[in-house]
Each structure stands twice: as C-alpha cells, then as structure tokens.
Amino acid sequence: MRIVFIFLAFITLSVCLRAQQPNILVIFSDDHTQQTISAYGSKLMQTPNIDRIAKEGALFHNVFVTNSICAPSRAVLLTGKYSHVNGLKDNGPHRYFDPAQQQIQKILSQHTYQTAWIGKWHLQTLPTGFDFWKILPDQGNYFQPDFISMNNDTSRVKGYVTDLISDFSLEWLKNRDTKKPFFLVVGEKATHRNWMPDPSDLPEFENQEFPLPANFFDNYSERQAAAEQDMTISNTMLMYDDLKMGVDYTKRGMFGRMSDDQKAAYKSYYNRAQASFEKIKHDSIEVVKWKYQRYMRDYLATARSMDRNIGRMLNYLDSTGLSKNTIVIYTSDQGFYMGEHGWFDKRFMYEESLRTPYMMKYPGKIKAGSEVDQMVVNIDFAPTLLDFAGVTVPSDMQGKSFRKIVEQKNSDQSWRKAMYYHYYEYPEPHKVAPHLGIRTDRYKLIRFYGAVNKWELYDLQNDPHEMKNIINQPSSKSLMIDLKKQLMQLALYYKDDEGIKIISN
C-alpha cells in the first residue's frame, strides 16, 4: 500500500510540474535593429505588435551579441555557448554546425516539451532534436520560397515568405500535442538583405523622407578597420539587387520567382523610383542620399509585414487562452546599421550591430511594462528559458539565467559588469577585419587583428556614436591597462584560446 501511495504521489507531482511548465514562443528575426522599433523610441516607423510584447512584459535595453553575424547567432541561441565553443564562427561556405551537440530543444524534449523550428534556419546542417521542423534553404527567398520538410523534400510554396512562415507556425500550434508544453522558434527571414517588401506594403513609406544620421558622412578618422570595410551605402549597395533598378523580371532568380501580379506592383513602384533617380543621377552626393532613402523605405516596408504577422501569432495565443501560460520573446540575430557611419549590414562591435532588440512577456511572472537595464548577452537566452521551464541548466553552457532579474526578485549584484565579443569572418563579403573586445557600462576596448592590427578605445558616455578613438590619448593609458586586463580575464573565463593569444601580442 505504501508503494502504491508513493507511486501516486510521484505521478501527481509530475502532472503538477508539467502543468506549471510554460509554453515558449521565440520569434527570431534577421537583421532587425532597435533603431527601427517604436518600443525603443524609434521615429522611423511604428511596430505596434512587436511593441505589444514589451508593453505586456519587459523591454531589455542592453542586450548584446557575442558575434554579430547571422548563422553564429543562431548557434548561440541553440547552445548557450560562444562561437569558438559551439564551432560556428562565421557564415562562410565551409562553416559547419555540429548537429550532434547539446542544444536547448534536445534538453527540453527530455522534459516533456514538444519542440519545433519553422522558417529561416541558416545553419547548413539540418535541424536535429526537434519534433517538427520546416525550414528555408540557406537564406531563402521572399517570393514563392522553397521550404525543406522533415522528410528532406524541398517544395516551392506560393506566397510571401513572412506570411507563409506565420501560416506554418499557426498550423503547427493548432495541430500540436496539447498535452505537452511547447517550444517553438519562428525564424523570420525579414529583414534580411535584399529587403523585398510585400507589394501591399510598398506605398507605406514612398513619400517619407528620412533624416540622415549625424555621422552618415563619417571620414573614419583614427579607425583603420572602419575605413577599410566594404559595406557602405554609397559604394557597396547594389542598384539592381538591393535597390531594384533596371530589374529584368523575366530572368530566373529572386525577381523571376514573383507572380505576374507581384511583378506588376514592383514594376509600377520601382519605375517611379527610377524616375526620381534620373533627376539626380549626375550629382554624386545626391545619389548617395537617394540610395539611403530607397534603402530605408524598402527595409522598413519589409519590417512592416513582419510586425503584422507577429500580431497574427499574438492574437492566436490570446484567442485560445494560450497566452496566459506562454513566454513570448521577440529578438533578432543582431543589430544592423541604418546609415550610421554610412553603412548597412552588421559585424562590427560598434553599438548599432552589437546591440540586438529583446523583449519578453510571461503573464503573472513578468510585470507588464517593466524595463531591464542589466547587461544581457545572447549566450544567456538558452539558460534563461531552461530555468523558466524548471530544467537544470547544464554546467557547460556559458550563459547565465536572468530569470530573477526579469522577475524583479532581486537586483543580483553578482550580475555581469562587462561582456566579451569575438568576430571572425574575413575578407568576404564585407572586408570587416576580425576583432575581439570588451564592453563595460561606459567603455569599449576593441582589438582588431589580421589585416588590421590596431586597438580602439571609446568612452560611450561622452561619445555614444563611437566617432573618437581615444586609444592614443595620454589620459587613456591607465584605462587601457585596466580594460586590457579585464579583457584577458574574460577570454580566459570563456576559454577562448585564440583570443588569449591575440590579446597577449
């Protein structure tokens, strides 16, 4: 009788634990930056559905990435480990993400969760450890995209990619095993280059003029790596692929995939853009400004569709009552340049690409309208979700759970005061020199290596746009020594052997 009682008690406890486990929805966008999200105070556009997550939960102001580039950031999300540990350092053609390694979905599956990844994956090797996946090959396409299914069949699907990713995600949610909590990652393609909006969103920003960033015409004084990059709006941005000028819609490729109606909408819209270009094409400065305006309009229109589709998913959770016990997170793989320093793209440790948007809601656990200022790094994402799921965080994960911080249970005085960064990809595609560095609440020390052998130091309080490298100022000597010491301590702590050697030289 005693054995029966113990058994029943165990079953009851297991059922109660399972009932308390939250569902988890992670909406993971691509190249979407804080500067274009109204929850962060952006005046460029309104993002009401993304903002909803922040209003109903917490908005994080200081979330940074370990390596500002697409595939490595996805690897960090899955593993909670730096690039040099999880094995994926760049987006290069020979990159390899070991699918056999420990990943968050595998751990959650061992603790009752039903798991899925839908949309952009971009890790070359196929997903493992998920109960369901449906992914875009490599970068994917905006129109009539191909999707790879779990049987490894690739099929072309009619429609616009952001709508389709939402359709497939909602379909999975409706047909999942409702007896289990779920972990779903929605991998958005938006807002990745080459920024192809849904035709219905094309007119949204057509007549809007956006102010140039104050450092748009940066001369990169005392910043060799910044001067030698190849990611400027003026020289790198392509008139055909990026800005859709002179497109031949009969050719195969991303434009050839469009339907007749979609092509007609694009032709009409971009013919007007072409006409505006003809008026200023002989003025080099006006051409650069024109390219900036075209970039902004396409990027923001692409983001508009994503925000609308996020609203669809939030509405489904609300209408079914699932939102009461679902953690919803919106974040991106890194930040992006919206003309700052004259750039688009990411990669640099400078603020616009180092920072990534992050907001999180969980009714009853996270206070609506709260704000988090502590320094969070994307290695912390997986440990935090495991913590909320009631699962022990593996000791080899390099991140830390910020659950107590976001639940406002204590201020956690032991929380990190500095973060470590390491970027590797060179020379293609944008000639950004490899570098590593440390960011504290006020200062940033960067060590470029390889093609550029330089140190850079910034006082973010007095120079938030990182225009003045103070490394050679006599008054910076003691600060440099202290930050270099802290940088070495972080490289040792995170076991970055390559970084240790670079800092030592």
Alpha helices in 233-283, H assignment, sequence order: 260-280
Among 6-15, 102-111, 172-181, 477-486, name the one with the lowest average pLDDT: 6-15
Distance in angstroms (rounded) separating the CA atoms of residues 76 and 376: 13
Distance in angstroms (rounded) separating the CA atoms of residues 31 and 231: 14
Question: Over the chain, what is the mean pLDDT?
Answer: 95
pLDDT band at 19 (very low <50, low <70, confident <90, very high): low
Distance in angstroms (rounded) separating the CA atoms of residues 83 and 71: 10
Strands 358-361 and 58-60: antiparallel
pLDDT digits (tens, 9 = 90+) for 310-346: 999 999 999 999 999 999 999 999 999 999 999 999 9
How many Cα atoms occupy the beta-carbon half-sphere of 283 within 13 Å?
10
Output the six-digit token pair for 168. 């497939």
Distance in angstroms (rounded) separating the CA atoms of residues 245 and 276: 11
Check pLDDT > 50 for residue 13. no
Domains located in the chain, CATH noted: 23-195+304-413 (3.40.720.10), 205-295 (no CATH), 420-504 (3.30.1120.10)
pLDDT digits (tens, 9 = 90+) for 257-280: 999 999 999 999 999 999 999 999
Predicted TM-score (pTM) of this structure:
0.95
Nearest to 60, CA basis, from 314, 325, 330, 313: 330
| Angle at which helices 260-280 and 284-320 cross, to 10° | 150
pLDDT band at 408 (very low <50, low <70, confident <90, very high): confident
Helix (H, G, I), strand (E, B) or coil at 28: strand
pLDDT band at 107 (very low <50, low <70, confident <90, very high): very high
* Residue 505 vs residue 192, higher pLDDT: 192
Distance in angstroms (rounded) separating the CA atoms of residues 62 and 66: 13
The CA-based diameter of the chain, rounded to the nearest angstrom, is: 92
Report CA-CA distances (Å) from 8 to 17, 266, 318: 14, 64, 34
Q: What percent of the chain has pLDDT over 90?
A: 93
Q: In what order do the strands lie in the sheet with 443-448?
A: 418-423, 435-440, 443-448, 454-459
Q: Which residues make beta-bridge pairs with 182?
A: 114
Q: Are 330 and 359 in contact (CB under 8 A)?
A: yes
Q: Are 89 and 83 in contact (CB under 8 A)?
A: yes
Q: In what order do the strands lie in the sheet with 326-332?
A: 154-156, 146-148, 132-136, 114-120, 182-187, 23-29, 326-332, 358-361, 58-60, 370-372
Q: Are 293 and 300 in contact (CB under 8 A)?
A: no
Q: What integer pLDDT is reported at residue 5 of this predicted model?
A: 45
Report CA-CA distances (Å) from 437 to 68, 159, 353, 447, 482: 12, 43, 14, 6, 13
Q: What integer pLDDT is reported at residue 412 of this predicted model?
A: 66
pLDDT digits (tens, 9 = 90+) for 196-225: 999 999 999 999 999 999 999 999 999 999
Output the six-digit token pair for 46. 């309104």
pLDDT digits (tens, 9 = 90+) for 25-45: 999 999 999 999 999 999 999
